[in-house]
Each structure stands twice: as C-alpha cells, then as structure tokens.
C-alpha cells in the first residue's frame, strides 16, 4: 500500500482546524487558535465511520460551502464524506467506491464547491468527479498517460492536488518515493492543468523542484514549494 504524508485542513468559516489521525482512525476538530495540550471540539471515530486502519486516514479536504469533509481511504479504494459538524461514531453521508470509479490507492482528494467538482489523486492519475457523486460511478474525466508526466501515478506517493475555482485550474504536486535499487528516482514536480483537460494531455505549466508538496498564494500569484533545504517561492501569474 502506498504511503503519504499527513495533511490537515482549515475551516475558515467556523475557525477550526481539521486533523486526520491515522493511528486512532479518527478525524479531530480543534479551535483554529488552539495551542498546547487542548481537547478537540469534536471527534469522528468508531466502527460506523468506516475509517480505515493504520495509515489510511491521513488526509482530509473540507468544503466550507456545504459543510462537508472528504477523506481518502486507500485500503478500501474509497472516498468517505461526512458532515463537518458531525461528532462521534457516525456513518458517512456519502461513499464513492467501486470498479467504475477507477480508484486504486486514492491518495489525495480536493474539492471545488463553487463548480461542484472533486479531484482524486490515485494510482491511475487524476480522476475528476462531480462533488456529490456516490456509489460506483465513473469519473467524467481522467488525466493520465505518458504526456501528463504522471507515470500512471505509481511514481508519486507524496502527492497533493488542489482545485482552484477562480481560474478553473487543477494544480498537482508529486513527490519522490524510494525506488528499487538500481532504478532512477522519479523526479518531483508541480504541474497545472485547466478544467476540461482529459486523457493523455501535457500540463499547461510545470515546475520540477522541491518534494512535490506545495501551497498557493493567489493574492501575490505565487506557488510555494518545500524541500529538505527550505522553501522556494515562484511567481506564476499564469497559474492564476
């Protein structure tokens, strides 16, 4: 099973930090200004949640418009959706799972509540669904193939994706993994596609740098990338 870095989310509407805990198989909600040893405001945890074991529950995306959170589950090849106001042992309000979804080892999920889209980074590539899709439904778009540089997705276990509604862009970062002895490393990079791109299409823009983990600063039109040596900031107005 692939392994990814843990990733939290910030609920700017309710002023909360949402933290996945893979070891406790739980989602924790804290005050945004919490510090020290502070009790969470709410905890989603228990058998009804279907949250997986070990390293499954290690990232979360939040939709502050519809008060929902999205969780990837690599072990069950699924996306679980909960109310962001939920607490305790509660069942997901939606589950996206099945062979038609083409999800194998989904690693990251990101949501655009404005255009009602959801993007999932999985072994096949980047899968685009409607935000409210559930059950066994096919993605309406898949970005995958040699021209994309994704390598089928198998080269990137440290990865992240963002949907940026104002510019209708898909921003992806893929990080290095340890390769078998004698094989070259898969280079880390950040790439950008536009909404509607499907199939084996090259990215509009690409940066080969950092670890593949990134953030964006739309106000200053900057891409922020980190590596083992520090933080690098690129001015990329074309991305915004």
**pLDDT tens sequence across 175-210:** 655 555 666 555 567 889 999 999 999 999 887 765
**Helix, strand, coil % in the chain, rounded to nearest 5:** 10, 45, 50
202: DSSP letter: -
46: DSSP letter: S
pLDDT at 64 over 90: yes
pLDDT at 152 over 70: no
* All structural domains of the chain with their residue ranges: 1-97, 98-240
Q: Given pLDDT bands bounded at 50, 70 and 90, which one contains residue 158?
A: low
Q: What is the phi-psi region of residue 204: left when phi exceeds 0, alpha when psi lies from -120 to 50, beta otherwise?
A: alpha
What pLDDT does 82 receive?
A: 97
User: CATH classification of 98-240 is 2.40.10.220, yes or no?
Assistant: no
Q: Which residue has the tokens 């997705």?
A: 153
pLDDT in tens, 82-127: 999 999 999 999 999 999 999 988 888 999 999 999 999 988 889 9
What pLDDT does 186 receive?
A: 57
Rounded CA gap, 18 and 9, in Å? 5
What pLDDT does 169 receive?
A: 93
pLDDT in tens, 41-53: 999 999 999 997 6
Considering the entire predicted model, what is its pTM?
0.86
Q: Class assignment of domain 1-97? A: mainly beta
């Amino acid at each position: 099973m692939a392994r990814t870095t843990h990733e939290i989310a910030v609920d700017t509407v309710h002023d909360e930090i949402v933290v996945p805990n893979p070891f406790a198989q739980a989602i924790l909600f804290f005050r945004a200004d919490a510090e020290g040893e502070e009790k969470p405001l709410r905890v989603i945890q228990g058998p009804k949640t279907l949250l997986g074991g070990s390293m499954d529950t290690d990232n979360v995306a939040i939709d502050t418009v519809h008060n929902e959170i999205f969780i990837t589950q690599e072990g069950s090849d699924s996306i679980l959706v909960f109310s962001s106001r939920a607490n305790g042992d509660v069942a997901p309000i939606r589950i996206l799972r099945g062979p038609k979804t083409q999800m194998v080892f989904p690693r990251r999920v990101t949501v655009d509540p404005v255009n009602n889209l959801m993007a999932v980074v999985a072994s096949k590539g980047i899968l685009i669904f409607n935000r409210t899709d559930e059950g066994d439904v096919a993605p309406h778009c898949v970005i995958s193939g040699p021209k994309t540089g994704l390598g089928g997705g198998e080269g990137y276990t440290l990865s992240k994706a963002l949907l940026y509604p104002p510019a209708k862009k898909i921003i992806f970062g893929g990080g290095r993994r340890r390769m078998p002895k004698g094989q070259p490393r898969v280079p880390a990079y950040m790439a950008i596609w536009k909404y509607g791109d499907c199939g084996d299409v090259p990215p509009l823009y690409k940066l080969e740098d950092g670890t593949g983990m990134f953030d964006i600063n739309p106000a200053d039109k900057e891409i922020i990338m980190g590596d083992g040596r520090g933080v690098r900031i690129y001015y990329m107005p074309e991305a915004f």
